[in-house]
Amino acid sequence: MKTFRGWLNEVSAQKATKDFETYIANLAVLSNKETNPSKLKKMVSENSDKFGGIRPKDISQVVDSVSKLNKFFSGKVWTKGINANFERGLHKGIYGKRSEAKADIILTSGGTKYGISIKKKGDIVVASSQDPDEFENIFWSALKKCKDDNKIDMSTNESWSKVIGEVENAVINMRDNVIGQTKSRILSPDWFNKLKAGKKNETPEEQQKRKQFFDDFEKFIEEQNKTISEDYEETRTVIAKEGAKIINEKLGQNDTLREYVIWEALSAILKYEGKLPAATHILSPDGCHDISNPNSNYVKKVAKVANINIRGMVHGAMRSGKESAMKPIVKKLFAGETIDMASLYDDMRGMDMSMKIDLKAKDMQQLDNHFSMMHGQELSEGIISNIIDKIKGLWNSFKSKIMSKIESMKEAVSNVLNIFSKMKAATLLDIIKFNKPKVSGSIKIP
């Protein structure tokens, strides 16, 4: 589970990410089919041993996720929940990296195990690959599966043959020239400005040493930038950008082909041959979705809006963020050790090239809204979660007028208000479902 806002801090966020996944697994087991957010939140507060260190801002996301999980798997009781990243004996995969499970958690019910990929609310990374073998085989395995399932004869079907050939050529180019390679960028001299200020627990002497060091390093960077070339920017703006553009454009010409690629990126079912730690479901505070096959509704929707990108990820220690990366350097400085600025500069400016398949929440939301209008369906739970506060304010502003006209319906109105207070399952239709009240005038939703 990763979000791509702030992806430069990936390493420092890994423990928090794994903890978040474990909290969901723990609450799922404790929940006993419960879907009420208030009751689930109480379970979290009453079982501190299962949720030690949980951040207040994560509690609602954990609770909402488990509520959505239990609604989707109605009636199932989870008897065991584990973080798949720490589970041994799982399938090692037939390609790419063996160390990362696609299913973040594994839940057991009735003897059946379910691999579930966990996502936080907001923008997400559908798939990430810095390994050339992993990168190319996401495409190779998906293209082969697509051809086999659809009985495509490449020797006679020219349209399919052309699209697949162009995608394969672009993937090979990225594999050989970009993915997994470390490129050098030119640092901005003021890149470490925020680290010049000393910490409260540092002595005035240490604070002065810190400031002097970063002032000197800034001057060193300025001098180095005059003599050292940059290959990252050219790779990023020319080779990587053009390659990603070709892959997106060619896959965009064939919906079925794109759905198979996104399906494998989401689930890794082909990589793990349908066994754990492949993921068959996606779970987030916005909902739980089946991704067990490329024809599932969620896969089709993601395929329409997900974007395949090739970009750089900061190298080595810098992945944990500037302050974390520089902490041991400052410690050596305070201990009186000499800092090799040339070596430090080289370490700081490395960028590891990787593929990221990104999914922006706003794009998915707009797609849901479009489908709702096109097919007369209710708004998705994700959209309702975002506008529910406005709905509650709207209801409160005109409920007194309605109450005066439908006095005999007090009990029904109360029930609807209770639904809104629980907030998760309500839609605009709930306002008018009870006995079809007649409301005159116009209402403006802010």
Stated pTM of the model:
0.76
Q: Quick check: 406 pLDDT over 60?
A: no
Q: What is the number of H-type helices and E-type strands within the chain?
A: 15, 9
Instruction: Give me the amino acid identity at 367.
Output: L
Selection from 284, 35, 244, 25 nearest residue 129 by Cα: 244
11, 100: one domain: yes
State the residue range of the domain holding 206: 187-227
- CA torsion, points 416, 422, 424, 428, in degrees to nearest 10? 20
Q: Which of 97, 121, 145 is the last residue of a domain?
A: 121
14, 106: one domain: yes
Residue 446 lies in a domain: yes
Selection from 214, 209, 215, 153 nearest residue 336 by Cα: 209
Q: Quick check: 79 pLDDT over 90?
A: yes
Residue 391 lies in a domain: yes
Residue 390 pLDDT: 44
Residue 194 lies in a domain: yes
Q: For 185-236, write each residue's pLDDT tens digit.
A: 989 999 899 999 888 899 999 999 999 999 999 999 999 999 888 888 888 8
Lowest-pLDDT range of 122-126, 200-204, 404-408: 404-408
Q: Which residues of 348-367 are buried (b: 16+ CB within 10 A; e: fewer)?
A: bbbbbbbbbbbbbbebbbeb
16, 102: one domain: yes
195, 117: one domain: no
Residue 385 lies in a domain: yes
11, 115: one domain: yes
Residue 108 lies in a domain: yes
Q: Which of 121, 137, 171 is the last residue of a domain?
A: 121
Q: Quick check: 241 pLDDT over 60?
A: yes
Residue 246 lies in a domain: no
Residue 251 lies in a domain: no
Q: Which of 77, 99, 121 is the last residue of a domain?
A: 121
How far is CA 244 from each of CA 128, 249, 361, 379, rounded to the nearest angstrom? 14, 8, 21, 33
What percentage of the chain reaches a pLDDT higher than 70? 80
Number of domains within the chain: 3
Selection from 268, 270, 67, 271 nearest residue 281 by Cα: 268
Residue 287 lies in a domain: no
Question: Given pLDDT bands bounded at 50, 70 and 90, which one contains residue 15?
Answer: confident
The average confidence (pLDDT) of the chain is 83
